[in-house]
Amino acid sequence: MPIKSRIRTVPDYPKKGIMFRDITTLIKDPVGFRLVIDSLTQRYMTKDLSFDTIVGIEARGFIIGGALSYTLGKGFVPIRKAGKLPSDVEEQVYDLEYGSDKIEIHRDALTKGEKILL
């Protein structure tokens, strides 16, 4: 079964006209979750692409990014929703189809010139 077919699509969530891709059906399936992590691991092990750290955006990025960080032997840096990090942060406001939100990263999480996979 292909990866895409393991992801549930929820119409009109969280707002009418939005097609929400719910990965909980993928990550609860041990075969599906392994498939996606193994596929991404192969992709980034074999590509002529170098990076130092994996950065993941809350919350789905933590799940996929954390597992990928482990399989590739890289560090992991979280980008969180506003107000969740305890130290000095950089922040970015972004627009959604249904509003706007803000994300934050610790100021000392990355160093100048560090290459990341987001």
pLDDT single digits (tens) 65-104: 999 999 999 999 999 999 999 999 999 999 987 789 999 9
Segment 30-75, tens digit of pLDDT? 999 999 999 999 999 987 889 999 999 999 999 999 999 999 999 9
Task: Determine whether 21 is an active site residue.
Answer: no
Looking up residue 107, the CATH number of its domain turns out to be 3.40.50.2020
From the list 6, 8, 60, 80, the catalytic residue is 60
Q: How many domains does the chain have?
A: 1
> At residue 95, what are phi and psi to the nearest 5 degrees?
-95, 145
Helix (H, G, I), strand (E, B) or coil at 21: strand
Which of 97, 49, 103, 63 minimizes the C-alpha distance to 79? 103
β-pair partners for 42 = none
| Greatest extent of the chain over all pairs of C-alpha atoms, in Å | 44
58 is a catalytic site residue: no
Q: Domain limits at 102?
A: 4-117
